[in-house]
Amino acid sequence: MSLNGITASAISALKTNSAALSVVSGNVANLNTPGYARRVVNEQTLSAGGQLMGVDIASVQRVTNQFLQQEQLAAGGSAAQYDTMSDLFSQLNGLLGAPGDNQSVATQLTNLASAFATASQSPTSSASRTGVANALNSLASTFSDVSSTITSLQTQIDQQAVNSIGSTNTLIKQIYDLNTQIKTANAGGDQASALLDQRDVALTNLAQVMSISTTTNSDGSVDVSTPDGTNLVSNTYAQLSYAGGAQNGSYGNIQIQDVNPQNGQMIGQVQALDPHLSGGSLKGMIDMRDQVLGNLSQTLGNLAQGTAQAFNAQANANAACPPPTSLTGRDTGMLSTDGLNFTGKTTLAVTDPSGNLVSRIDVDFSAGTLSVNGGAAQPIGGTIGSFTTALNTALGANGTASFANGQLSISATGGNGVLVQDDASTPSSRGGAGFSQFFGLNDVFQSQMPSLTATGLSAGDASGIAAGGTISLSLKGPDGDIAKKVSVTTTAGMTIGQIVASLNTAMGGAATFTLGSDGSISTATSAVYPGYTLNVTGDTTSRGTTGMSFSQIFGIGANAQSMQAGGFSVTSAVANNPGNIGFATPAITATSAVGDTIVSAGDNSGAIALQNAITKTQSFDAAGGIAAQTASLSDYAASFYQNLATQSNTVTANQTTQDDRLAEAQSRVSSYSGVSLDEELTSLSSYQQAYAAGARILTTVDQLYQTLLQIQ
């Protein structure tokens, strides 16, 4: 080899090792840079005509492993999902408390039982009545507060989802833009561009929002999609949109649509993103908002409804002493023209302040008659309005009865009181509720939704709904997909059965509505949609002058169940006068006559019965993931908190597992792609020695040239 050839080889060594040292320097400088993958220099020999001519850099390679990177992205999405859920569970657990905490429903039920036990010891004590009233208020407030807490947390989560949309769109667009720049760099021969690191950071951040899958293309770009293949980045990029907010307690979907990068215009079909989410903080937020909190709200509503039914049923069977001067029932949603539809017998009595009988009206609904003080039977007609008129007449100078806007009111005159007692052997019943309970004459609890949804109405009864009212429904799946959205508009003269039929027609078999013999409407989803939830997203109907919508009267939809706990409170009659709480049991017999004592101040049987309502078993429908069961109020309350604890523990366990998985994935990626100072120092030493050797060769060549020049 000539001296010129040796010189060229030495110079190539200097250039190559200088460049290699620069790569090592970059690795060391980026030791702690997130997303940085170390670079290695791949050298190749230079030759001409088969002769070695030195060394050159074949490529600067970015050290990555596609499998490890994909595992890191997948683990990051799962970890972010459960981290998000765990943080929200921490908030929820702190706000709702445990069964033994003062703010829990279970504790308030225990306190109420204690208050009734105390009252049963001294039923005439005003302090006892005040203690019971306070315990009733505390229980009602706890129901309402827990419901508000769940709703507020849902609203908070929903707003977090809204806030994340903008940053997510920015990440998607950033990845698309980096793809474009990387393709340009690749075409120019730069396969280790810093743009790759920036893109990896963006991908990692995006995976924390939603689980993603990536495919690397030959031009250096990556296609990004959800794990089930919904496009996020390819030759187009996706854009998410979500305004947030709930319709009657039901949340909509995050929408996704592709964007034409050439003009920024939306292309393709708009679709729901929710069903395509399998991980990430968005998945965690939506699952907490819709599944965990949504189910929890339904379970709480089920407990609230059961509590109202149990206490109201017993309170309407009890009597206060002295009886209240007037009884005003709840808004039943019934019209005066509705069929009376009661069976059995009941007695309405007017008493003096000492509980002595002034007048009795015995009603035989099955026979369609009433009698006053054992007198002749008189017809009551077949409607609620005709019965009210007959009752008002029967009361005569002793009182009045009226029915307006769905409410029945009965009042006594002259400072006397009113009480109701069902017949012991053939009690009155409409839709399974006694006369007093159906109209809510002595209720202790009320809510924004009626606790009694067995209306006693039949298919042929007039709906009382004006034309033009709209009932809007949606069928939402456990993964957030909305399988069906329909609206039914009422027409003039529709019957109850015709509205039910219209709802069934609109749903097309996806969900069915069945009007029961007790006047309740049950709903069921088809086998094609297991786990789907039916929600009423809007209802502008109103039954007559009651102000109650069709879905409200019948309690249609999962959101109606949730709202049983919303606005849960003690009725104004009890809140304004604790003396109206019935601690006694009326004692009207077939032989009771005017002047007889039919309710006694010292009677504590009603208070004991109200206390026992807490531990008495009753039927609970399936709600919010808790199966249908027969249980006491206290046991169901315990199940409510146990269900919450179980879900919280499950999320915590999953969080630990996925965080460990992510840590392992990050460790492996770091081990494979990260910068090791020991390795870099070894490379640094090697390149320095090679550079020094090249320099030494040049020095030697220079000396040879000097010697040759001296020879000449």
pLDDT for 424 equals 94
Give a three-class secondary structure readout of 100-162: CCCCCHHHHHHHHHHHHHHHHHCCCCHHHHHHHHHHHHHHHHHHHHHHHHHHHHHHHHHHHHH
Would you place residue 423 in the very low, low, confident or very high pLDDT band (cuts 50, 70, 90)?
very high
pLDDT digits 0-9 by tens, 248-272: 888 999 999 999 999 999 999 999 9
Torsion angle, alpha carbons of 627, 142, 95, 302, to 10: 20
Residues 6+ apart with CB under 8 A from 704: 3
SS3 248: coil
Cα gap 27→703, rounded to integer Å: 37
pLDDT digits 0-9 by tens, 98-116: 777 777 899 999 999 999 9
Q: What is the DSSP string of 321-344?
A: SSPPSEEE-------TTSB---BS
pLDDT for 30 equals 83
pLDDT for 712 equals 59
Topology classification of domain 320-441: Immunoglobulin-like (2.60.40)
Tell whether the model's pLDDT for residue 59 goes beyond 80. Answer: no
Number of H helices, E strands in the chain: 16, 27
Determine the length of the chain.
712
Mean pLDDT of the chain: 92
Which residues does residue 43 pair with via DSSP β-bridges, in sequence order? 57
Q: What is the DSSP string of 225-240?
A: E-TT--EEESSSEEEE
Would you place residue 510 in the very low, low, confident or very high pLDDT band (cuts 50, 70, 90)?
very high
pLDDT for 79 equals 96
What is the pTM assigned to this prediction? 0.90
pLDDT digits 0-9 by tens, 670-711: 888 778 787 878 888 887 887 888 788 888 877 887 888 888
pLDDT for 26 equals 84
pLDDT digits 0-9 by tens, 203-252: 999 999 999 999 999 899 999 999 999 999 999 999 999 999 988 888 99
Question: For residue 125, which amino acid is it?
Answer: S
pLDDT digits 0-9 by tens, 177-203: 999 999 998 888 777 678 888 999 999
Q: Residues 452-470: what's their mean pLDDT?
A: 96
Cα gap 368→348, rounded to integer Å: 15
Burial degree of 434 (CB within 10 A; 0-12, 13-18, 19+): buried
Domain ranges in the chain are: 3-63+677-711, 69-89+154-292, 320-441, 470-554
Least confident of 57-71, 301-315, 469-483: 57-71
pLDDT digits 0-9 by tens, 136-169: 999 999 999 999 999 999 999 999 999 999 999 9
